């Protein structure tokens, strides 16, 4: 990302009189919305934090009337245009929206995809017609800054605020994206329609009180009926747009896998996420030599065909004619309504391409 695309922004925090001593990193984390302890510590290590004009360590104890400055690189605002894009709505009230996301649509804009996303469609659905500015909450705090994910999925608490910190703020329109699905993953998603609802949904995802179940079709025959796949996930050293199981620098990830139906050279499974990492299911299954059928990024197409017994390769090629994406569908989503406190569960049937694959395998 070039220097023209990000601008320097400085937070200035005045420690209130009478404040009891507190670690610098903890105080900043509580004082700046969307900041995390890890990113604050990295910003301090990178020399982006000053107290009364001087660099300080993370364990510095703040005192009354200290002036703290935090300098970050802020991504530029995007102009977001509401677009009339069809939505399959499973449930809607004044507070939230539950949809069945079709494959092939991005959840939110990125540097190379500024329209045609789910957010564009939701804005139109909520009655917005004029273009508005959108700012992604994540800023570069001096660590290894990532480009906005394009087609990334399952990472939690990535919340988009419409008009955040911008003059063109419109508090009435805030489609809260609290979880994501990959561009080519279909299935159930919940979206907050108000700031309060969005924040409370985000808390549920962070606290792991949301239950999500995915249906997938993977190559090969899984032996165990149930298994837990664990492995830290981070950026792939070979391609930074992808993820991989890594020894250092990754985040712990765990996926519960249950076999539902075995075929000659493929297996129908359900997956339950214990964590929510980008591309988690795809990476975990690929790491076990059972990539998802059709997955172009994680060895689920031509490479998978070559690994099949030669007697199944023609059938495998025929299978790929029916699906041009990873065979992954978010079948169910269960959460507590932030306002009514009712426990809600929504389910979505298999999309046509995955059903065609199953029909072929069963036939």
Determine which one of 66, 140, 149, 182 is catalytic: 182
Q: Are 47 and 56 in contact (CB under 8 A)?
A: no
Task: Name, in order, each residue with C-beta under 8 angstroms of 148's C-beta and a sequence gap of 6 or more.
Answer: 75, 109, 110, 111, 136, 138
Provide φ and ψ at 83, rounded to 5°.
-130, 140
Terminal CA-CA length for the chain: 50
Q: Are 156 and 212 in contact (CB under 8 A)?
A: no
Return the closest-CA partner of residue 63 out of 71, 52, 55: 52
Return the closest-CA partner of residue 258 out of 245, 273, 248, 244: 273
Q: Are 160 and 122 in contact (CB under 8 A)?
A: no
Q: Are 266 and 361 in contact (CB under 8 A)?
A: yes
Provide φ and ψ at 281, rounded to 5°.
-65, -45
Q: Can 295 be counted among the known catalytic residues? A: no
- At how many degrees (to 10) do helices 24-31 and 37-45 cross? 120
CA-to-CA distance for 58 and 192, rounded, in angstroms? 35
Active site residues: 182
């Amino acid at each position: 990302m070039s220097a023209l695309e990000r601008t320097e922004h400085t937070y200035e925090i005045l420690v209130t009189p009478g404040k009891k001593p507190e670690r610098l990193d903890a105080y900043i984390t509580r004082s700046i919305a969307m900041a995390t302890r890890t990113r604050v510590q990295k910003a301090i290590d990178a020399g982006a934090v000053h107290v009364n004009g001087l660099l300080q360590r993370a364990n510095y104890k703040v005192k009354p009337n200290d002036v703290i400055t935090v300098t970050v690189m802020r991504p530029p605002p995007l102009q977001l245009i509401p677009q009339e894009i069809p939505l399959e709505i499973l449930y809607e009230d004044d507070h939230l929206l539950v949809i069945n996301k079709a494959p092939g649509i991005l959840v939110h804009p990125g540097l190379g995809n500024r329209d045609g996303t789910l957010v564009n469609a939701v804005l139109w659905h909520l009655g917005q017609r004029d273009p508005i500015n959108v700012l992604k909450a994540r800023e570069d705090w001096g660590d290894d800054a990532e480009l906005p994910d394009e087609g990334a999925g399952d990472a939690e608490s990535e919340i988009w605020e419409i008009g955040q910190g911008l003059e063109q703020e419109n508090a009435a329109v805030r489609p809260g994206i609290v979880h994501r699905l990959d561009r080519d993953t279909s299935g159930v998603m919940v979206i907050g329609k108000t700031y309060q609802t969005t924040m409370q949904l985000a808390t549920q995802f962070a606290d792991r009180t949301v239950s999500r179940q995915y249906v997938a079709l993977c190559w090969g025959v899984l032996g165990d009926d149930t298994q837990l796949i664990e492995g830290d996930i981070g950026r792939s050293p070979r391609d930074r747009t992808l993820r991989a199981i890594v020894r250092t620098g990754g985040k712990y990830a765990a996926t519960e896998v249950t076999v539902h139906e075995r075929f000659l050279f493929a297996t129908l499974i359900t997956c339950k996420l214990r964590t929510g990492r980008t591309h988690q299911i795809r990476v975990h299954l690929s790491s076990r030599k059972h990539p998802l059928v059709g997955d172009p990024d994680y060895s689920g197409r031509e490479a998978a065909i070559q690994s099949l017994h030669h007697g199944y390769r023609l059938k495998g090629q025929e299978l790929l004619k029916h699906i041009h994406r990873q065979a992954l569908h978010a079948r169910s989503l269960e959460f507590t309504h932030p306002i009514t406190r009712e426990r809600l569960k929504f389910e979505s049937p298999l999309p046509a391409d995955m059903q065609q694959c199953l029909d072929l395998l069963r036939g």
